[in-house]
């Protein structure tokens, strides 16, 4: 028997009818607003070249670490899922076989946001109406594969169908942004912009730090193993990124530490990191200094600064050695902001030109540090629930823990932060639904009036994203 | 169009009618109980002199850091809000202009407890029936300003109208408690008592530590730069405070650390702190020692001891330098109790004469440390959700996280902890409503019977406060 | 007036009828499934000897630290409750008097899981229909005492009545497992197995470390103060435990730290710990090393490994000195897994032969570390909410915080972890109800279909326990 697959119009809303009816009215107001995606990791090449996606597995499974980390946790090898090795030799897994494994294990995702995102894509993008499992795997593969060859499923067509107003990708300062240039040159109306992500040239513990510095030297014509040139090159690249549409920078550090050190000290530190063995405390101090420096540059050039701290990258040594970065093996750590950000805030915390958006993987900070900080410092705003917390309960915890102390207007709306292009509408829909559900609860409990909730729903779904990211 | 302003009788209760009806029945039992406010920061001068409050802004905005921290976070300067500078020169902001800014930005508070507290005051104290915004700002100012000149709005009249049975203020050991004496002498029946708050004479990192020690010497006739005299002076001041009505002490330390060190060591430490440059670790050890010492004195004199740890005071250097302490720029830090309190508990944890009430800004402790500690040690009780967590969700998280491990009877009822006198009834009302809502949920889920919930509601709203604070 | 005592059939379910009806349907499917108790602390002697339990107090109060820690926290002495002292001399408290104190204070447990567990036992095991309080104390004592003398209340009869399929106890490697042998020899069909808990022979800070090592030498015939012999003895004892039915080991360390050190280093460390004063950092490093070693042995012999970290044992010095271990004075501490487990996971994290179940008392780890770790590493699974969190809200927080990131299938079902034999059905019932309530909410919010929830309810109540513990 095949089970029917449908998306219920009230999904995620309270089953209390009084509250649900309020949520429905709020959602009706925001469900069709354009999508603004100010922070994410889609590939600009897709929109530059506008070629068909290769097959269902390459489109839906292989770029989505949420999917293969779950399958891996249950004993399925990354090889079997066709995840490419660092030094791939021999044949990759057959995409139809990969799809079959995924389908047979789809029940593992019950209760996770991936379950919703994927079912949303199956129904709304591909028009499928039966559930995915081992028996329907082939049926799914066929339908999706066939559609991918049609014009309506080319990247730009989907971008338009999804009603995306702006989509930001993320690039390293060493990137020449050729695909963004190609999009501009093509005359296509879709707005795909970049964001400046300098981690690899700031973090001396990054596996390609020196390689990237050399690349930065080439691209800038400066000697980037020399500290003043290095700083100058970063400043120039920011200008270039801004010219290419960037409105923000992004910083994925292990901690939220910042440091106010002298140029002399910074210079010596940089020399040690570029000309000797990297010591962990040197690397941390240099990253802390560079957050400080980046805030300084943001004050000058107006780029909105984002800090995404607290992730222990590449935690699984074996997976990193075989498959490289970003393979679902990054793991959260306890993170501290009140002390870590103090040096930066001492200097720039009251400067009206600074816009600093904070994220966390350590939810204990919502009510303890982030809410109180954003509810005081004029430069600070709170980014949405991030990564592992980009989920119904995660979003609910975020609003419950931050609203009472920082209000709604110290938050910046939603980021999808995804490599999985097709999941973008599903993710924004989930966020809008959860905000409507939370607002409906406030109305149902008589804490705010419905007209206030309607304004807030629009602000959270659209207006705050535009204004916070200067879009 | 002016929007109507009303307070819904079911505010904060579940919109599920079965559960809401239980909450209503419980609330009916406790809504009119007298207010006991065992911990707060109102100014005893108000009740001593009983002069009219100056104007709406000075009454409602300028003493309330919840309000101006939010406005400041959205780019409004403290100058514009009429917050006095350390060395104020030149004119203060016009109070009507301050009110206008507040009114125009009142939507920022949607979803925060301040929104409820203020609307409660507008309706119940001032009888206003339209919403506050830029357009109604003048109307509000007029009404409130007019009423403040009438007898019914004098401090003592409001105290009586609010049905306050006891109100505790907080004073430094160096305070001569003249206003408390004046209240006693006046023959007025209102009970306003003090609480002993020695932070400024214990914390060597406090900006007026030495100044306060000198003041303590003057007031005690002892040499308070000499450790044994210093201890003796504190003991004498406790006796004096107790004679003036105090039943408790309060300790706002950066951490919950305690230390059991010898008198010789304490003496040497105190000498270093009073006669040289203050080292951070010396200051911390001395504070830790003094918590220990204060527990010892509490065992002797019976004053209930409160510890409010985990706040990084004056985090915003610029705001502190220009405007001084308590300007909405105190920020929570991660806090630890299991290890920090161990020395104190090793010595006094089983002494039936010690009553120690613990608070936290780090909610992770509710279920991890505070609930388990209070559910075991006879000397320990849990204070209510504090400061940033004195809110609907904050209160809900507190009960959900502590009740299952420590029960209700290891908690002490509500503290309003406020400088904003008019908000006191609103804050107690919110607390009673949230307790009734939580108890109603337990009844609705058949975990306790309604007669049990009725007893608990009264205990949490009134009885436990009286017994825990020996009132 | 005596208040009636009943157990409502919908206890713990939402009072929203739509959601409650789903919960009822799910619960109906799982409520009668056999109980599998893979981790607990009942006494195997009960089932070996099958003698009647002595009296209500010895059966229900004295083995249950949840009960006497609450009473102790409210000023009732452990002496008065008949808790035996380390060097008991003089008469123990009269059990009827102990029962009376408990009954008079039973209201203290309102809102705690103990309240439910005990009422469940009173109704379902003893058929009592009025509430326990000071007035009904004697009535209760009589009824229970009388029943305990009947055959239907012998340990084995209750085991069968409770429909227990497997019950695991916990023993030290130095235990000869005579009672387990006696059970086997008796021909009784009840399955009572052991689990290997080596803390006392691994933790040099344990009060009987050296004593236990000597005992280990005797029982193994090896010289266990000599590191290679010590390791060999542990390996042999694991084999013996496995032969006696054990399928798991259990490790209750202060932290989750692991360390990969050389044999030479381990040898030296062990010598220092066994032949000199124990240094705290040596003891911690040795425990960290031994977790690593135990994982290695688990890979060899297939025993499922459990880590229960983060408890500060014997926190109350006075209680420990007078009454010994396990007297309700163990207290949680902040715990870290992402960094602590890294050495172990670097070596064995991807080995399909390792099964490692993680527990925590620090709930901040659910969404920050444990969920993300279990959602990636194939060797890791999450144990159920533990100890202070084995409660309705605790279980709800666990599912809400872990499901979205690790799914349901990286969890292992319920553990009752109890010394209180009669509470076992109540605890499993609570867990099944809370899982059904959570699943019902997912169905009511249209996140999963009811047929999916039905499968999940059975998996969480029964199948996952069996498979995770290899039962």
CB contact under 8 A, C448 and A115: yes
CB contact under 8 A, A345 and B315: yes
Q: Which chains touch A (3 or more CB pairs under 8 A)?
A: B, C
Q: pLDDT tens digit string along B307-336? A: 999 999 999 999 999 999 999 999 999 999
Q: Which pLDDT belongs to residue A201?
A: 98
- Alpha carbon of B310: minimum distance to chain A alpha carbons (Å): 10
Residues 339-378 of A with CB under 8 A from B: 339, 342, 345-346, 349-350, 352, 364, 367-369, 371-378
- Alpha carbon of C304: minimum distance to chain B alpha carbons (Å): 27
Q: pLDDT tens digit string along C320-339? A: 999 999 999 999 999 999 99
Q: Which chains touch C (3 or more CB pairs under 8 A)?
A: A, B
Selected for mutation to probe chain A from B5, B331, B369 (highest A CB count within 10 Å) is B331
State the average pLDDT over residues A239-267. 98
Q: Please name the member of A364, A368, A376 whose beta carbon is closest to the beta carbon of B328.
A: A376
| Plot region of C140 (φ>0 → left; ψ -120 to 50 → alpha; else → beta) | alpha
Alpha-carbon separation of residue C51 from C48, C92, C121 (angstroms): 9, 21, 20
Minimum Cα–Cα distance from A74: chain C residue: C378
Q: Which pLDDT belongs to residue C1?
A: 62
C-alpha C58/C-alpha C23 separation (Å) is 36
Q: Which pLDDT belongs to residue A92?
A: 86
Q: What are phi and psi of C230, to 5 degrees?
A: -55, -50
Q: Which pLDDT belongs to residue A2?
A: 82
- Alpha carbon of A339: minimum distance to chain B alpha carbons (Å): 8
Q: Which pLDDT belongs to residue B435?
A: 98
DSSP string, C285-352: HHHHHHHHHHHHHHHHH-PEEEE---EETT--HHHHHHH-SSSS--EE-----TTTTHHHHHHHTT-T
State the average pLDDT over residues C44-64. 97
CB contact under 8 A, C451 and A3: yes
Burial C92-102, CB ≥16 within 10 A → b, else e? ebebeebbbbb
Torsion of CA A224, A229, A235, A237, to 10 degrees: -40
Selected for mutation to probe chain C from B445, B455, B468 (highest C CB count within 10 Å) is B445
DSSP string, A100-124: HHHHHTGGGGTTSHHHHHHHHIIII
Chain A residues with CB inside 8 Å of B368's CB?
none
CB contact under 8 A, A447 and B392: yes
The pLDDT-based confidence of C92 (bands split at 50, 70, 90) is confident
CB contact under 8 A, C338 and A319: no
CB contact under 8 A, C110 and B448: yes
DSSP-based three-state secondary structure for A61: helix
Let me know: does A315 contact C338? Beta carbons within 8 Å: yes
Q: Tokens representing B164? A: 């306050």
Q: pLDDT tens digit string along B140-161? A: 999 999 999 999 999 999 999 9
Angle made by CA atoms C269, C275, C281, in degrees to the nearest 5: 40
User: Is the CA virtual torsion B347, B350, B354, B358 positive or negative?
Assistant: positive
How high is the mean pLDDT of chain B? Answer: 97
Q: Which pLDDT belongs to residue C305?
A: 98
User: Is the CA virtual torsion C391, C396, C402, C406 positive or negative?
Assistant: positive
Q: Please name the member of B336, B367, B442 whose beta carbon is closest to the beta carbon of C363.
A: B367
Q: Which pLDDT belongs to residue B242?
A: 98
Q: Which pLDDT belongs to residue B164?
A: 98
Q: Is the pLDDT of residue C134 over 90?
A: yes
Q: Does C10 touch chain B (CB under 8 A)?
A: yes
Q: Which pLDDT belongs to residue A87?
A: 78
Q: pLDDT tens digit string along B94-121? A: 999 999 999 999 999 999 999 999 999 9
Q: pLDDT tens digit string along C418-460? A: 999 999 999 999 999 999 999 999 999 999 999 999 999 999 9
DSSP string, B253-280: -SS-------HHHHHHHHHHHHHSPPPH
Torsion of CA B274, B276, B282, B284, to 10 degrees: 60
User: Among residues A391, B360, B274, which one has the least CA distance to residue C445?
Assistant: A391
C-alpha C279/C-alpha C297 separation (Å) is 27
Angle made by CA atoms C334, C336, C341, in degrees to the nearest 5: 150
Q: What are phi and psi of C241, to 5 degrees?
A: -60, -40
Q: Does C72 touch chain B (CB under 8 A)?
A: yes
Q: Does C336 touch chain A (CB under 8 A)?
A: yes
C-alpha C15/C-alpha C149 separation (Å) is 41
Q: What is the DSSP letter of B461?
A: I
Within 10 angstroms of residue C211's Cβ, the number of other Cβ atoms is 13
Within 10 angstroms of residue C151's Cβ, the number of other Cβ atoms is 9
CB contact under 8 A, C409 and A108: yes
The pLDDT-based confidence of A86 (bands split at 50, 70, 90) is confident
Q: What is the DSSP letter of B109?
A: G
Q: Is the pLDDT of residue C89 over 80?
A: no
- Alpha carbon of C61: minimum distance to chain A alpha carbons (Å): 36
Q: Is the pLDDT of residue B90 over 80?
A: no
- Alpha carbon of A470: minimum distance to chain B alpha carbons (Å): 16
Q: Is the pLDDT of residue C249 over 70?
A: yes
Domains in chain C with CATH codes: 52-153 (1.10.2020.10)
Within 10 angstroms of residue C424's Cβ, the number of other Cβ atoms is 22
- Alpha carbon of B364: minimum distance to chain A alpha carbons (Å): 7
The pLDDT-based confidence of A1 (bands split at 50, 70, 90) is low
Q: Does A1 touch chain C (CB under 8 A)?
A: no
Chain A residues with CB inside 8 Å of C445's CB?
10-15, 392
Could you tell me how many residues make up chain B?
Answer: 471
Burial A393-404, CB ≥16 within 10 A → b, else e? bbbbbbbbbbbb
The pLDDT-based confidence of A419 (bands split at 50, 70, 90) is very high
Q: Is the pLDDT of residue B89 over 80?
A: no
Q: Does A447 touch chain B (CB under 8 A)?
A: yes
Chain A residues with CB inside 8 Å of B319's CB?
350
Q: pLDDT tens digit string along A451-463? A: 999 999 999 999 9
Alpha-carbon separation of residue A345 from C67, C183, C222 (angstroms): 49, 67, 62
C-alpha B364/C-alpha A362 separation (Å) is 11
C-alpha A309/C-alpha A297 separation (Å) is 19
Q: Is the pLDDT of residue A88 over 80?
A: no
DSSP string, B227-257: HHHHHHHHHHHHHHHHHTT--EEEE--SS--
Q: Does B133 touch chain A (CB under 8 A)?
A: no
Minimum Cα–Cα distance from C65: chain B residue: B376
Minimum Cα–Cα distance from B113: chain A residue: A404
Let me know: does C423 contact C162? Beta carbons within 8 Å: no
How high is the mean pLDDT of chain A? Answer: 97
Q: Which pLDDT belongs to residue A257?
A: 98
């Amino acid at each position: 028997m095949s089970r029917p697959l449908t998306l219920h119009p009230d999904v995620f809303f309270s089953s209390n009818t009084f509250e649900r009816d309020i949520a429905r009215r709020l959602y009706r107001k925001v469900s069709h607003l354009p999508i603004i995606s100010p922070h994410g990791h889609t590939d600009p090449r897709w929109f530059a070249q506008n070629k068909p996606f290769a097959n269902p597995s390459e489109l839906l499974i292989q770029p989505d670490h949420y999917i293969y980390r779950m399958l891996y946790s249950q004993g399925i090898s990354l090889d079997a899922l066709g995840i490419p090795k660092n030094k791939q030799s021999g044949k990759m897994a057959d995409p139809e076989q990969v799809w079959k494994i995924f389908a047979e294990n789809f029940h593992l995702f019950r209760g996770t946001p991936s379950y919703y995102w994927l079912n949303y894509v199956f129904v709304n993008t591909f028009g499928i109406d039966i559930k995915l499992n081992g028996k329907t795997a082939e049926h799914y593969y066929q339908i999706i594969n066939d559609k991918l060859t049609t014009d309506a499923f080319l990247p730009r067509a989907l971008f338009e169908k999804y009603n995306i107003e702006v989509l930001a990708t993320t690039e390293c300062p060493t990137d020449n942004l050729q695909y963004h240039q190609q999009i501009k040159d093509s005359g296509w109306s879709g707005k795909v912009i970049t964001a400046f992500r300098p981690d690899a040239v700031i973090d001396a513990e990054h596996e390609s730090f020196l390689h990237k510095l050399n690349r930065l030297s080439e691209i800038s014509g400066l000697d980037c193993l020399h500290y003043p040139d290095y700083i100058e090159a970063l400043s120039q690249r920011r200008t270039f990124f801004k010219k290419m549409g960037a409105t923000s920078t992004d910083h994925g550090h292990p901690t939220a530490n910042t440091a106010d050190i002298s140029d002399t000290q910074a210079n010596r530190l940089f020399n040690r990191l570029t000309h000797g063995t990297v010591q962990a405390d040197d690397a941390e101090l240099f990253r802390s200094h560079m957050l400080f420096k980046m805030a300084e540059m943001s004050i000058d050039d107006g780029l909105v600064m984002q800090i995404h701290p607290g992730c222990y990258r590449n935690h699984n040594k074996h997976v990193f050695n075989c498959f490289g970065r970003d393979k679902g093996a990054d793991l959260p750590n306890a993170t501290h902001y009140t002390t870590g950000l103090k040096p930066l805030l001492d200097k720039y915390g009251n400067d009206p030109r600074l816009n600093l958006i904070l994220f966390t993987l350590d939810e204990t900070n919502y009510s303890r540090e982030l809410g109180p900080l954003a509810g005081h410092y004029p430069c600070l705003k709170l980014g949405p629930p991030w990564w592992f917390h980009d989920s119904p309960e995660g979003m609910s915890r975020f609003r419950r823990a931050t609203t009472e102390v920082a209000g709604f207007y110290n938050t910046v709306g939603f980021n999808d932060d995804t490599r999985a292009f097709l999941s973008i509408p599903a993710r924004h829909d989930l966020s809008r639904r959860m905000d409507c559900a939370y607002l409906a609860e406030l109305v149902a409990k008589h804490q705010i009036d419905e007209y206030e909730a309607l304004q807030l729903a629009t602000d959270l779904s659209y207006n705050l994203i535009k204004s916070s990211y200067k879009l």
